[in-house]
Amino acid sequence: MTHSKMADIMDSWLGEPVSSLIEAWGPPTSIMDAERGGKIYVYDYSGSVTMPGVATTNMNYTGHGMATATTTYGPSMSMPVRRYRMFWVSKNGVITKWSYQGL
C-alpha cells in the first residue's frame, strides 16, 4: 500500500454518510466528540509484526574432500504496529475530513 493509494481510499469517503462507512468497515474502535457537534470515528488496527529468525551457515573445508559446517541461529523479532484511520463526521452524519497514521 502506498500513501497515494491510502489517500484515494480515504478520499472516497468524503461526503458519504457515516452509516455507509460503518456498513463497510464495521463499528469503529472509538468515537470522540469534535467541534461544532460533530464526531471523530477512529479505527485502530494495532498489533505486531514478527520477523523470522535468521540462520547463517559457515563452511570450513579441511582438505581431502572433507568439510565442517557451523550454523548460527538468530532469534525472531516482534515489533508493535499501530495503524489509525480517523474520520471527522458532521452533526448531520456526513464525513467531512479524514486522517491516517501508518499504512
Give the domain 3-50+81-101 fold. Answer: Beta-lactamase Inhibitory Protein; Chain:B, domain 1 (3.30.1450)
Q: What angle do CA 72, 77, 81 make, to 5 degrees?
A: 165
Q: Distance of CA 73 to CAs 4, 67, 79, Å?
A: 39, 20, 19
**List of E strands, 1-103:** 30-33, 39-51, 54-63, 66-74, 77-89, 95-101
- Give the model's pLDDT for residue 64: 85
- Give the model's pLDDT for residue 63: 84
| pLDDT tens track for 62-85 | 888 899 999 999 999 999 998 999
What average pLDDT does range 14-36 have in this prediction?
97
- Give the model's pLDDT for residue 62: 85
pTM: 0.71
Confidence of residue 93 (pLDDT cuts 50, 70, 90): very high
Cross-strand partners of 40? 32, 88
Q: Which cell is 82 given?
A: 499501530
Q: Which cell is 98 given?
A: 479524514
- Other CB atoms within 10 Å distance of the CB of residue 38: 19
- Other CB atoms within 10 Å distance of the CB of residue 87: 24
Domain ranges of the chain: 3-50+81-101
